[in-house]
Structure 1
């Protein structure tokens, strides 16, 4: 694609007509990287030239015109692929001074320094958390803050580091300081438009999040489009717990010691035949003695514009139903952090058997990963742009036993900020 664009641009500069398009920047030399970048974006419909068909390379007026084009490209940045996004970011960095002089207020520029982009989030949370030592529940406030640094290495590669801190209100530290940790550090490379590889410490969601949605150390490769894509992950789980065959208690998979973390390969296939139907399937090959492999599938349906129904099923490769886990639910509306006043609500039922393959699920359920059945109600509301309020509550929570099986209910409320 790049070679084709370069030939197209060169022939246009020489005055050779083309069946595809005339050169919109006839006064810019093809040796200029900015010329090549803008020509590529123009051929893909991201930016447009001026009516007179001129674009003068290094003169002040040219940089002024370039800044106007970059500003237009930035407005469309949420609708481009990773390769185009990297090109736009590089152009924005190059012409940031001109954009400022033009008075262009583009939020994606204001948090950039050189090749770095900065984003982050903060959370205030109130919940009744389980004390594993006493097996009792206690209500508490805690907070979390995270800052992510995205560095553009080249047009196809970026490096990401995220620093996070989390603490319970009133929690005593020996040195009275709040400690930060690096919870994300990875490198991502795009091989054209349809293949991506990521290596390092990152998030991994298996299926729709019933089995695992937590930190992961390893490599993930993805091939395909939004409609149909496949991925392979190989590495180590970094969160949650897993019940090995024959064990009465789960194996702890927390921490960063790879000797105690589950090593596995995960194969996933996602298919979206229409905008209202999404089907996913996965197979997790666990490379640990005594821990069975896991497979599962999920289905999401949109009924009209507001109603959602969906569910997920997962099972260990064991006989009988002891290794099964499933959830099903219905929802109405959807909260969008970019649009104040939007909201959504869901009710889901969970049935997690005694040997359930759930390790660290999306909904947290206060670490109820097995021997659990009950309902979860969720409400999300966008208070203001980039400020969201979420509330969770379980009800009718029970163990799988038929008698004396009631469990304490779990609840939490969160105020989330994005910046």
Structure 2
């Protein structure tokens, strides 16, 4: 009987060895060589209190360990990853890679590796918009136009380390009125003093564009952004859009951000033209050039309810010949919380041009739709008075009134479901100088994901 047991055990051993040879897996019970780097790494983690041993809770530095025993120590360390320093996390990650097959056999979820897989995150939005415009020029000619478009934005955020992030945004806008996704014509916004049309959304061709790509770092003394970065001067009065450049911020109570870079389409070189055929406006697009923009943003909370934002900048036109010269622009804004839900904002700004160089806004904001809370809503009312030279040509990209315009803008927003926002708005303006006037109305639905 004993002989049969011995033979059975021998056969089992031979079959296991043969199977091992065929599969050629890592032998988890082989000793880790005494000079292997793992010992020094584990010793450092032990001395720091990140690991306390293996198996029975002891750390046996006096003898070599098997790979299985070493994997137990790494598994212990993975459970305390949140308490580790950056240097210790790097050691744990290196150990988890070395002993990955042993950890897998142990059934350990490799937190360090999973953190890596979650290192890049995607989110985005899709907006469908309608905008109609009825305008009357100084000669009494009435025109109307409308836009139906779709805008897709995709954000990609990658974590470089605990302080640095990489961010990029892809954007695509398509005309939903045409079958090929291209704008057949832009919508009319105004007529200038030379009886030429000014309008928006010209040049949208459905192309996917990379309009943000930059790194953001939180430093000991402040923040740094570099690349194609987003820039809001003050409350966004003079400029709100991308620049190819850098922004450096510092300060807590008084936040100061210096910026330098080249703006996109910030300087109008030619006004373009239009003609009316069979009651339809046929437009020729204006031409734009860039500005080298240098300036500073200020942000200060006087109290918990009163905030100041300001900006001062110098715009040096690029590639526009002798038509334009270096200009100075500035803005200041006060935001006051009348109640937790009601905010009153006043904005005043201008330029150093010789005349017609001032502008202001009065804004009342009540609540705002929160996409995580279905049923939430908000309302917005603004009055603007903007002289012809108050702004850079690319100013107020987030607003519905423009240069040489004064009037009202109304907005209501509502979230009918989670991650869905509905907005309806109406604009009524006339020229500060001249008799041009227009009414615009529209709305959009935005889906967030």
TM-score of the aligned structures, taking structure 1 as reference length: 0.67
Give the corresponding residue for 2:18: none
2:368 is aligned, of 323, 330, 334, to: 334
Query: Do the aligned partners of 2:316 and 2:325 also contact (CA within 8 Å) in 1?
Result: no
Is it true that 1:235 corresponds to 2:261 in the alignment?
yes
- Flag the 1:248–1:236 CA change in 2: closer, same or farther, 3 A: same
Quote how far apart the aligned CAs of 1:313 are: 0.8
Is it true that 1:152 corresponds to 2:159 in the alignment?
yes
Query: Do the aligned partners of 1:221 and 1:233 also contact (CA within 8 Å) in 2?
Result: yes
Give the corresponding residue for 2:299: 270
Is it true that 1:318 corresponds to 2:353 in the alignment?
yes
- Flag the 1:342–1:231 CA change in 2: closer, same or farther, 3 A: same
Query: Do the aligned partners of 2:420 and 2:445 also contact (CA within 8 Å) in 1?
Result: yes
Quote how far apart the aligned CAs of 1:156 are: 2.5
Is it true that 1:212 corresponds to 2:245 in the alignment?
no
- Flag the 1:346–1:304 CA change in 2: closer, same or farther, 3 A: same
Quote how far apart the aligned CAs of 1:239 are: 3.8
Name which structure has the greater RCO, CA cutoff 8 Å, separation 6+: 2
Residue aligned with 2:372, SS: coil
- Alpha-carbon distance between aligned partners in 1 of 2:251 and 2:424, rounded to the nearest angstrom: 35
Quote how far apart the aligned CAs of 1:308 are: 0.9
Quote how far apart the aligned CAs of 1:343 are: 1.4
Cα deviation code 1:303-327 (max 9, x no counterpart): 121211011111111345x111110
Structure 2: stretches of 5+ with no match in the other structure: 1-42, 55-70, 98-102, 136-140, 183-204, 274-284, 318-323
Is it true that 1:183 corresponds to 2:211 in the alignment?
yes
- Alpha-carbon distance between aligned partners in 1 of 2:219 and 2:447, rounded to the nearest angstrom: 33
Quote how far apart the aligned CAs of 1:60 are: 4.0
- Alpha-carbon distance between aligned partners in 1 of 2:214 and 2:367, rounded to the nearest angstrom: 34
Give the corresponding residue for 1:19: none
Cα deviation code 1:258-303 (max 9, x no counterpart): xx30112021111013332110111111223524201110010001
Q: Which is further off, 341-350 or 281-290?
A: 281-290
1:161 is aligned, of 149, 168, 171, to: 168
Residue aligned with 1:327, SS: strand
- Flag the 1:252–1:269 CA change in 2: closer, same or farther, 3 A: farther
Residue aligned with 2:248, SS: strand
Query: Do the aligned partners of 1:356 and 1:369 also contact (CA within 8 Å) in 2?
Result: no
Structure 1: stretches of 5+ with no match in the other structure: 1-9, 15-22, 30-55, 71-82, 104-108, 255-259
Give the corresponding residue for 2:52: 27
Is it true that 1:416 corresponds to 2:446 in the alignment?
yes
2:419 is aligned, of 357, 381, 386, to: 386
Query: Do the aligned partners of 2:240 and 2:397 also contact (CA within 8 Å) in 1?
Result: yes
Residue aligned with 2:290, SS: coil
Residue aligned with 1:287, SS: strand
- Alpha-carbon distance between aligned partners in 1 of 2:46 and 2:334, rounded to the nearest angstrom: 52
Instruction: Please give the residue correspondences for 1:366-385 in structure 2 after superposition, counting only pairs within 5 Å.
Output: 368-385=401-418
- Alpha-carbon distance between aligned partners in 2 of 1:325 and 1:228, rounded to the nearest angstrom: 25
Give the corresponding residue for 2:138: none
2:314 is aligned, of 268, 279, 285, to: 285
Query: Do the aligned partners of 1:240 and 1:252 also contact (CA within 8 Å) in 2?
Result: no
- Flag the 1:230–1:130 CA change in 2: closer, same or farther, 3 A: farther
Residue aligned with 1:370, SS: coil
Quote how far apart the aligned CAs of 1:328 are: 0.6
- Alpha-carbon distance between aligned partners in 2 of 1:148 and 1:273, rounded to the nearest angstrom: 34
Q: Which is further off, 274-283 or 333-342?
A: 333-342
Give the corresponding residue for 1:400: 432
- Flag the 1:25–1:295 CA change in 2: closer, same or farther, 3 A: same
Give the corresponding residue for 2:58: none
Query: Do the aligned partners of 1:241 and 1:252 also contact (CA within 8 Å) in 2?
Result: no
Quote how far apart the aligned CAs of 1:113 are: 4.0
Residue aligned with 1:207, SS: coil
Q: CA RMSD in A?
A: 4.1
Give the corresponding residue for 1:127: 131
- Alpha-carbon distance between aligned partners in 2 of 1:178 and 1:316, rounded to the nearest angstrom: 35
TM-score of the aligned structures, taking structure 2 as reference length: 0.63
